[in-house]
């Protein structure tokens, strides 16, 4: 039997949780649907990851976030968001992946691997950590290549190539080198990324300058083989012995998922979704975006501290619409009508 809600929130990260908290406070019937564990993306961050933001800037709903240092670690964030979910008894379904969101008449049909739900409004808060930016080179499919980094112990005493120059690449290079890996960084531009955490950037630059970590600038990968990696450098092709490759070149939102819902994307390389910044409503009436998904390929534009306000904006807009529409609307039959 289909279950109906005022609101369904797709994505159980910090912003999805913030939306659920706000909906619960305002008396809306809601459901958060998350394909993995609570704050799935944060769970998949490197085990020793430290946030750029201070703990108070990661707080949601003014619930204090107490950490040992000013900038919390991954495990502290997991504890914080998990306790919010459990202590507030949020209505959240975990390990349930949404397969489609379609609008019929004035309501939405949300299908998952387990169930079909109805909702008058839907919030998409799915982030961008699921789809890595691929190198698109021969050998990228080899088992020794990963687009995600977890624990430096795995790479001890191994020849490790780290592709990228952002926070994730720099953290991985430093941690693995300190655990005994032979680390080489492959950097597409002329320097380490300017957005690297200010207390980490001097560390990686010093390690490179002293020769502890090797670095190739203005360089790309042309091929990955079982025991070597081939580079295109300014001086020509270079072949390096190699055991593992961490291709930490960033991630992107699931644009195909957005397009199947009817959300329009800009035609340039930014792929910005169409939404009203004053209400967070997309070009599909009743369908909202929250969190980093709003930035398209500009994944550095939105993060927890500047998008947590989206929850209050969206719920206020939903309540405004519900107040204006005082007529009782019966649940639609999804067998009637065609998807918008």
φ and ψ at residue 103, rounded to 5 degrees: -100, 130
pLDDT of residue 215: 98
Q: Could you tell me how far CA 123 lies from the centroid of its own chain?
A: 15
- Nearest Cα residue to 58 out of 250, 305, 268: 305
CA distance 41 to 22: 21
Asked if the model's pLDDT at residue 113 lies above 60, the reply is: yes
- 3-state DSSP call for residue 162? strand
134-247, which class in CATH? alpha beta
| Residue 124 near residue 258 (C-beta atoms within 8 A) | yes
pLDDT of residue 327: 55
Please report, for the chain, the start and end positions of each structural domain, with discontinuous segments joined by +. Answer: 3-131+251-324, 134-247
Asked if the model's pLDDT at residue 136 lies above 70, the reply is: yes
When the pLDDT of each residue in the chain is averaged and rounded to a whole number, the result is 93
Using 50, 70 and 90 to split pLDDT, how confident is the model at 331? very low
Using 50, 70 and 90 to split pLDDT, how confident is the model at 338? very low
Cα dihedral 15, 20, 26, 28 in deg (nearest 10) = 140
For the domain 3-131+251-324, what is the CATH code? 3.50.50.60
- 3-state DSSP call for residue 334? coil
| Residue 228 near residue 241 (C-beta atoms within 8 A) | yes
pLDDT of residue 326: 61
pLDDT of residue 69: 93
Asked if the model's pLDDT at residue 336 lies above 60, the reply is: no
**Crossing angle for the helix pair 167-178 and 201-209, to the nearest 10 degrees:** 60
| pLDDT tens digits for range 117-134 | 999 999 999 988 888 999
A 10 A CB-CB count for 243 gives: 17
How many CA atoms, within 13 angstroms, populate the side-chain half-sphere of residue 306? 11
φ and ψ at residue 108, rounded to 5 degrees: -105, 145
The predicted model gives 228-235 an average pLDDT of 97
- 3-state DSSP call for residue 327? coil
CA distance 175 to 160: 12
The predicted model gives 36-56 an average pLDDT of 93
- 3-state DSSP call for residue 46? coil
The predicted model gives 72-85 an average pLDDT of 96
The predicted model gives 253-273 an average pLDDT of 94
Decide whether 3-131+251-324 matches 134-247 in CATH topology. Answer: yes
CA distance 268 to 280: 21
- Angle among Cα 46, 49, 55 to the nearest 5 degrees reads 140
| pLDDT tens digits for range 289-317 | 999 999 998 888 888 999 999 999 999 99
| pLDDT tens digits for range 156-190 | 999 999 999 999 999 999 999 999 999 999 999 99
């Amino acid at each position: 039997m289909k279950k109906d809600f005022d609101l369904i929130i797709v994505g159980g990260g910090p912003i999805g949780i913030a939306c659920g908290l706000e909906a619960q406070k305002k008396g809306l019937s809601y459901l958060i649907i998350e394909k993995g564990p609570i704050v799935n993306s944060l769970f998949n961050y490197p085990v020793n990851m430290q946030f750029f933001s201070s703990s108070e800037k990661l707080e949601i709903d003014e619930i204090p976030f107490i950490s040992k240092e000013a900038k919390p670690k991954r495990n502290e964030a997991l504890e914080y968001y998990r306790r919010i979910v459990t202590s507030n008894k949020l209505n959240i379904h975990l390990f349930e992946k949404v397969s489609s969101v379609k609008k019929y008449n004035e309501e939405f049909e949300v299908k998952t691997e387990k169930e079909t739900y109805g909702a008058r409004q839907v919030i998409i808060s799915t982030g961008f950590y699921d789809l890595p930016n691929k190198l698109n080179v021969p050998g990228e499919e080899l088992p020794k290549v990963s687009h995600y980094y977890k624990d430096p112990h795995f790479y001890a005493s191994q020849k490790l190539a780290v592709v990228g120059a952002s926070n994730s690449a720099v953290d991985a290079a430093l941690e693995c080198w300190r655990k005994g890996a032979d680390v080489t960084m492959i950097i597409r531009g002329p320097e380490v990324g300017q957005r690297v955490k200010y207390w980490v950037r001097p560390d990686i630059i010093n390690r490179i300058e002293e020769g502890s970590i090797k670095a190739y600038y203005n360089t790309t990968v042309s091929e990955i083989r079982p025991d070597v990696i081939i580079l295109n450098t300014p001086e020509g092709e270079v072949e390096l012995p190699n055991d593992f490759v961490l291709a930490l070149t960033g991630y992107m939102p699931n644009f195909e998922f957005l397009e199947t819902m009817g959300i329009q994307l800009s035609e340039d390389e930014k792929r910005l979704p169409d939404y009203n910044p004053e209400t967070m409503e997309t070009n599909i009436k009743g369908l909202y975006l929250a969190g980093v998904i709003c930035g398209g390929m500009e994944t550095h534009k939105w993060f927890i501290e500047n998008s947590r306000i989206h929850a209050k904006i969206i719920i206020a807009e939903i309540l405004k619409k519900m107040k204006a529409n005082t007529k009782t609307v019966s649940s639609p039959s999804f067998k009637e009508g065609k998807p918008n």
